[in-house]
């Protein structure tokens, strides 16, 4: 005996239970289709710093849709999940927790004790994130879950670091870097975000020796002048050619520094003289290398001034700025101060203004790695979707600087470099050496720094599959199929995975890079804690269901574009799911249990309406497959939505209802079979988008062969192409719509039947309409259909034309004359009041002359509409009052 569906769908009773059932059956593992072609997605690993946000829900839904689609299509589909240790962000969280709960710093408890607390944090949040992804319906293979600091990934990091070092692609040296004074660590270029800030431009006079005058330089950071080791002018600047090779006196420190000529200087900007601070500006650093200028670092790691800053030592950088400006002013060397809007670099984690300074760090030499990574995108071995993002990739990769990979943190992959305690020799090795190759010593200290988080993340597509070991997963699933990620981490992650994949594996890590946008609030603003506009996806799941959240995300999405979140959309998605549930419930109440055994009999008695919906279903299947393969997921979902709601629920179910009641109709089995077949196809097409409700409905369908999650994905069927039947039913639907529109305009209740009069020379159309009388009776409140001539047309007929057929309804049959006159009189009175109001407004010069043109035009448009409506009302009144 078949189960009976409840009247309403309750996702809370379904989702957790269904997910646990899928997982217990091993459906998430690629082994579910062991002989299938591999399809692989590695999850962009969420940071272990809190719970998932809408961006994660967006990203995860897109990946799950693709994975479920490919799994149903017979692929050996692997969606490999994992989390990222997020060095800087996690260290900030753990340090804050340590201070708040124990009143201690990490140095108070030592590295080992600190790492224990960091691991406790990591394990707690890893579990929390996993649970949240499961609530979303993510069909990841959890048996293969990875963490960027697990044993396998750590082995991969060491292998890659040592390999790159031995190739000369990793080196240790003093270079200009970005430094966060709050996090107290180096940052790569990609970890600095630039924001517009209102600042100042200080114009400072640098005296020439022997009272020969001065040159004026302009700077946004006066405190850095304490580290100046020269000034530069353009070699072609006639104003300063006589000074090239001479010196100026550095104010406040009273020392002579050289004047050099370099084409870096823009003659048209400012005074054409630029102060050179090689230790605190990346451009000055490059000029300094060309002219052998001294690198004088005057800032400590906490952004206070060091001893090289003279009397300003110990001051905070901003305190120092005030003191320097004050002293320059006192000496008469401050020429002027201008307001200046400029881009200022901020730490992407804590938003502190970063400092650029020279520092001894570990670097990756990027030029040899960048070229092949550019080539694979240019040659389309790896494609960005949409393609416009490849231009962003090119721009960054073509201008890339050596990558600073060392971080002054404790949480992360510790750099595999060891220093002999006896002679200081440095050895780079995967494990601590036993003997120093230089002095034979046996005591070593490992480098204190850890690697940039993005170093281990760059290895993610192959380290997660077992590299550097030659595993079966690595052979089968690398390179992966598609990377799904946001445009905001093209620099951070995508580019690095590409060049590391090529370097270590000999080929890029994925064929396609599907770039999605950001989820913004209803006003188009980026969601953030500071704005308080963030949305918790778990709360939405609790209120609406995971399916409703997923469907909203997908139908609002197009590759590369941001989406604006609106609660109305998720409510609409929930309504759609309820519509499908109710439709399925109706269908199941009218199906024989053995309907799937009657296929031959059903196909022999198909009506044109059955063929229409089957043919339309077939077209939708073909289009959805095309859209899915082009990553047009939002378009695919919308097409299924429109077909399911408009064509299947609103039309086909209504058209076949009369055939379902009673057993005398020979086409009842055909109607039942078609209802069941189309519903099954809709559920399969919807499953990647709304997995829970489709699985639940599928469990009630008679003749189902297992769970829908591993059911076969629909494909185009040449036997289900019925173009003529499609044309016939589309024609009938248009006629019904026209009749409904006329009745709606006349405010005629559905209970009131009327004759349908038709004029047409198209015999087939007339015969079709006469044969379809039952549809017109049920769906358009038509009593009979009568073919008439033009001579029989009366002035009380209302008409419409549909594809060579004129249709007419008799007003006298439609309307109660006395009631209609009364209604029209009321409408006339309301319109007259509105007309009087707008006429009075437009005849007032005080309004028309002073109000904005847009407001005046809006009132004129209202006037036009009221006059037009009044004319129609009066015309109808004249007819009835004759």
Question: Binding-site residues for ATP, please?
Answer: 529
Q: How far apart are CA 230 and CA 286, in angstroms?
A: 13
Q: Is 149 exposed, middle or buried (0-12, 13-18, 19+ CB in 10 A)?
A: buried
Q: CA torsion, points 243, 246, 249, 254, in degrees to nearest 10?
A: 180
Query: 593: how many CB neighbours lie within 10 A of its CB?
Result: 10
Burial of 533 (0-12, 13-18, 19+ CB in 10 A): middle
Q: CA–CA separation, 803 vs 735, rounded Å?
A: 9
Rounded to whole angstroms, the Cα distance separating 430 from 403 reads 21
310: helix, coil or strand? helix
Residues 141 and 335: their CA atoms lie apart, in Å, by: 67
Q: State how far the Cα of 154 lies from the Cα of 158, in Å rounded to an integer.
A: 6
Residues annotated in the binding site, as ranges?
A: 529
799: which strand partners? 808
Per-residue tokens: 873: 């009302």
d(CA 875, CA 870): 8
Q: Strand pairing partners for 782?
A: 754
Per the CB < 8 A criterion, the answer to whether 761 and 804 are in contact is: yes
SS (HEC) of 33-94: CCCCCEEEEECCCCECCCCCCHHHHHHHHHHHHHHHHHHHCCCEEEEECEEECCHHHHHHHH
Output Rg (C-alpha) for the chain, integer angstroms.
37
CA neighbours within 13 Å on the CB side: how many for 501?
27
Exposed, middle or buried by CB within 10 Å (0-12, 13-18, 19+), for 437? Answer: exposed
DSSP secondary structure letter of residue 527: P
Show the tokens assigned to 841: 């407004």
Cβ atoms of residues 560 and 487 within 8 Å? yes
Helices (H) and strands (E) in the chain, counts: 30, 29
Q: Which residues contact 512 (CB under 8 A, 6 or more apart)?
A: 382, 383, 385, 481, 482, 483, 631
């Amino acid at each position: 005996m078949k189960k009976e569906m409840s009247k309403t769908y309750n996702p809370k009773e379904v989702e957790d239970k269904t997910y646990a059932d899928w997982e217990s059956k091993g459906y998430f593992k690629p082994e579910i289709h062991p002989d299938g072609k591999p399809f692989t997605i590695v999850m962009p690993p969420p940071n272990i710093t809190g719970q998932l946000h809408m961006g994660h829900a967006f990203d995860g839904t897109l990946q799950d849709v693709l994975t479920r689609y490919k799994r149903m299509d017979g692929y050996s589909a692997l969606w490999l999940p994992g989390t990222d240790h997020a060095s800087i962000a996690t260290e900030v969280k753990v340090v804050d927790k340590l201070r708040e709960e124990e009143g201690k710093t990490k140095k108070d408890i030592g590295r080992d004790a600190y790492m224990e607390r960091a691991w406790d944090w990591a394990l707690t949040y890893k579990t929390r994130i996993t649970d949240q992804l499961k609530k979303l319906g993510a069909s990841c293979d959890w048996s293969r879950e990875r963490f960027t600091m697990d044993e396998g990934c750590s082995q991969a990091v060491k292998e890659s670091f040592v390999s790159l070092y031995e190739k000369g692609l990793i080196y240790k040296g003093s270079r200009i870097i970005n430094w966060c004074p709050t996090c107290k660590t180096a940052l790569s270029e990609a970890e600095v975000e630039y924001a517009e800030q209102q600042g100042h431009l200080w114009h400072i006079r640098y005296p020439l020796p022997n009272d020969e005058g001065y040159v004026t330089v302009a700077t946004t950071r006066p405190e850095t002048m304490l580290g100046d080791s020269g000034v530069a002018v353009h070699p072609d600047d006639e104003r300063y050619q006589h000074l090239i090779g001479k010196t100026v006196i550095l104010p406040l420190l009273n020392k002579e520094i050289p004047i050099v000529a370099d084409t870096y200087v823009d003659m048209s900007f400012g005074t054409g003289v630029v102060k050179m601070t090689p230790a605190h500006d990346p451009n000055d650093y490059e000029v300094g290398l060309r002219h052998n200028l001294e690198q004088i670092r005057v800032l400590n790691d906490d952004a206070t001034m060091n001893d090289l800053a003279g009397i300003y030592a110990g001051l905070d950088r901003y305190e120092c700025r005030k003191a320097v400006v004050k002293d320059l002013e006192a000496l008469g060397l401050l020429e002027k101060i201008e307001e200046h809007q400029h881009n200022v670099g901020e730490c992407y984690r804590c938003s502190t203004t970063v400092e650029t300074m020279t520092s001894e760090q570990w670097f990756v030499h990027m030029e040899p790695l960048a070229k092949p990574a550019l080539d694979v995108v240019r040659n389309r071995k790896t494609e960005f979707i949409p393609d416009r993002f490849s231009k962003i990739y090119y721009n960054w990769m073509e201008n890339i600087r050596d990558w600073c990979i060392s971080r002054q943190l404790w949480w992360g992959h510790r750099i595999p470099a060891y220093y002999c305690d006896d002679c200081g020799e440095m050895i780079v090795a995967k494990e601590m050496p036993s003997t120093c190759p230089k002095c034979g010593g046996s005591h070593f200290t490992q480098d204190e720094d850890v690697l940039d988080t993005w170093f281990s993340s760059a290895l993610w597509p192959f380290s997660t599959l077992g590299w550097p070991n030659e595993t079966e997963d690595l052979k089968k699933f690398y390179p992966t199929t598609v990377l799904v990620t946001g445009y905001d981490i093209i620099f951070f992650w995508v580019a690095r995975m590409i060049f590391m994949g090529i370097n270590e594996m000999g080929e890029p890590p994925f064929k396609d890079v599907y770039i999605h946008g950001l989820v913004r609030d209803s006003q188009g603003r980026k969601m953030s804690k500071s704005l308080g506009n963030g949305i918790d996806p778990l709360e939405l799941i609790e209120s609406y269901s995971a399916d409703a959240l997923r469907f909203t995300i997908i139908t609002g999405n197009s590759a590369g574009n941001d989406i604006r979140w609106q609660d109305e959309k998720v409510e609409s998605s929930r309504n759609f799911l309820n519509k499908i549930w109710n439709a399925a419930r109706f269908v199941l109440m009218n199906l024989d249990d053995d309907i799937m055994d009657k296929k031959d009999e059903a196909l022999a008695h198909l009506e044109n309406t059955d063929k229409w919906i089957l043919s339309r279903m077939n077209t939708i299947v073909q289009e959805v497959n095309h859209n899915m393969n082009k990553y047009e997921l939002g378009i695919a979902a919308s097409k299924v939505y429109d077909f399911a709601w408009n064509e299947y629920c609103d039309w086909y179910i209504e058209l076949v209802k009369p055939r379902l009641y009673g057993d005398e109709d020979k086409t009842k089995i055909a109607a039942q079979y078609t209802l069941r077949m189309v519903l099954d196809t809709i559920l399969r097409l919807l499953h990647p988008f709304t997995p829970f409700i489709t699985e639940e409905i599928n469990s009630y369908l008679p003749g189902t062969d297992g769970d829908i999650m591993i059911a076969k994905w629909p494909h185009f069927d040449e036997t289900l192409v019925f173009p003529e039947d499609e044309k016939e039913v589309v024609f009938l639907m248009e006629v019904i719509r026209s009749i409904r529109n006329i009745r709606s305009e006349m405010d005629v209740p559905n209970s009131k039947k009327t004759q349908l009069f038709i004029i047409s020379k198209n015999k087939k159309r007339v015969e079709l309409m006469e044969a379809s009388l039952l549809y017109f009776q049920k769906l358009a409140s038509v009593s009979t259909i009568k073919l008439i001539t033009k001579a029989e047309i009366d002035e009380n007929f209302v008409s419409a034309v549909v594809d060579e057929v004129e249709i007419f309804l008799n007003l006298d049959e439609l309307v109660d004359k006395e009631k209609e006159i009364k209604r029209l009189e009321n409408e006339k009175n309301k319109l007259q009041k509105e007309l009087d109001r707008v006429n009075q407004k437009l005849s007032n010069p005080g309004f028309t002359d002073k109000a904005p043109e847009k407001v005046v035009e809006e009132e004129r448009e209202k006037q036009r509409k009221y006059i037009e409506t009044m004319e129609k009302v009066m015309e109808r009144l004249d007819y009835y009052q004759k």
